[in-house]
Structure 1
């Protein structure tokens, strides 16, 4: 792990095409990143994608876990069905999603038509394309959050709930004052994991939209891949990788500090 990280840091300071010897040029790549409008667009897209998909995945996973932690008929089957998207490969998920959101014969527009709603240009409208990618991300990550939350719920002692019931606490009060605080470490783990994975999203975007339309779904990883392997600017792509690493590290540290502050409180 450390060897590729070190090589990336070195190449980020060079002009390198993947052939021949890299030429050292200091911080020129990072200066160029600062004035690159496509980088800022990719960063904005990634930020919006993360800010929307992560809360939806976390809250949806918690809701499913609370529901499927009860004694319901077919509970095991339901858990398995919700977890299936997690084990599907990203390429398979992208192919399925591309079929669902196809503008001409896709299931999404068919359903909208049945409801009397206008069709959506999932491939030609930037906001719609971004929304479709977010929907797929939430679909493929709900099961993971559900399973981790189920483990957290089953680790809470039943005596705590019995004491709350004797005190006359309702379901909402129990959820707010007991379940949610005790799931703090679980939520912290899920948040960190999902923020990192959302910044690394790649396969689904390539299959579904290819970064379009008009770079509306170009994310940082896609942009770095395009710069390194399509444009042969591997030094610049390495610099993009270093910037992405720094952003994810800062976000992780901020979440860690917030989690520690909450635990100490």
Structure 2
């Protein structure tokens, strides 16, 4: 028997041993994924076709939940609020994160301290951020309007005027941009210094260097944050719910802050319409998939990957 033929079964045996060892090492993740992710997703797809109130057994109703969903005016309101908030918050967060990262990148001292200081608010529990929103943006006694009053500006009723509810939530979302700042800062540190040196020789100023070198070179990072922040914004829940719907709150303009996930949560856990809420969840999943696909198709031409043209 040739030596190569004898080695082939041995290689297959070693490959199987390595595969079995790899599966054994990742088995805790596989078990957790199946129990806590895959099964709930599959079960929610079934529940979306049923009338289920947690107390009684599910009864199959076919597509009735989806038909009712498209006829529900609150769904349209919640989707509209969510899209408006997303369009307002995502660009604002990206611009602020980029500005702070550029400041940190140009700092020569205490960079580590400021990086930590910017990131720490990200550790604040979302419920606390919701309560903080009510204290900072209170129309009568809030710190934001108090600060504006110093300059003779009469601040708006952030929490009671429907026109200002979402801008207030957008401003409050800037409290947690620290993670994006750290990610962008890491990307900035990877931009070759030679490009800036060549631009300086050509007489390019800071603004031109930023637009022509910095932004294109870190565009994959900005694109990643754009997608992730959009998905997070479309799933906004805790801060708005705590501020405007928590503890039986009926004082504020709740409809202006009625985001899609809040409506989903209320249908599931306040009204016990679990089947209807599951249908809402699947529609949100499809909406996020569609929005992400559109973002990828539209913006990928503006993303520069080193080594190839985009």
Under a length normalisation based on structure 2, what TM-score does the superposition of the two structures give?
0.80
Match among 237, 241, 244 for residue 277 of structure 2? 237
1:46-94 CA distance string (max 9 Å, x none) = 0110000100000111111111101344333222222222111101211
The within-5 A match list for 1:157-196 is: 157-196=192-231
Aligned equivalents of 1:145, 1:56: Cα separation in 2:
12
Structure 2 residue 121 is the aligned partner of structure 1 residue 67: no
Which of 53, 58, 63 pairs up with 1:27? 63
**Greater shift after overlay, 226-235 or 97-106?**
97-106
Q: Which has the higher contact order (CA 8 A, sep 6+)?
A: 1
Does the C-alpha gap of structure 1 residues 232 and 182 become closer, same or farther in structure 2, counting only changes over 3 Å? Answer: same
- 1:149 paired to 2:189: no
- How many residues of Structure 1 are paired with residues of Structure 2 in the alignment? 264
Contact map agreement 1:98 1:207 (CA 8 A) in 2? no
| CA drift at 1:24 | 1.2
- 1:205 matched residue in structure 2: 240
Rounded Cα–Cα distance in structure 2 between residues aligned with 1:72 and 1:227: 52
Unaligned runs of 5+ in 2: 1-36, 247-251, 304-308
| Mean CA deviation greater in 98-107 or 243-252 | 98-107
- Trace 1:1-265 onto structure 2 (pairs within 5 A): 1-140=37-176, 142-210=177-245, 212-263=252-303, 264-265=309-310
Q: Do the aligned partners of 2:159 and 2:168 also contact (CA within 8 Å) in 1?
A: no
The structural deviation recorded for 1:30 is 1.2
Question: Radius of gyration: which is bigger?
Answer: 2
Instruction: Give 1:23 deviation, angstroms.
Output: 1.2
TM-score, length-scaled by structure 1? 0.93
RMSD: 1.8
Q: Distance in 1 between matches of 2:216 and 2:159?
A: 42
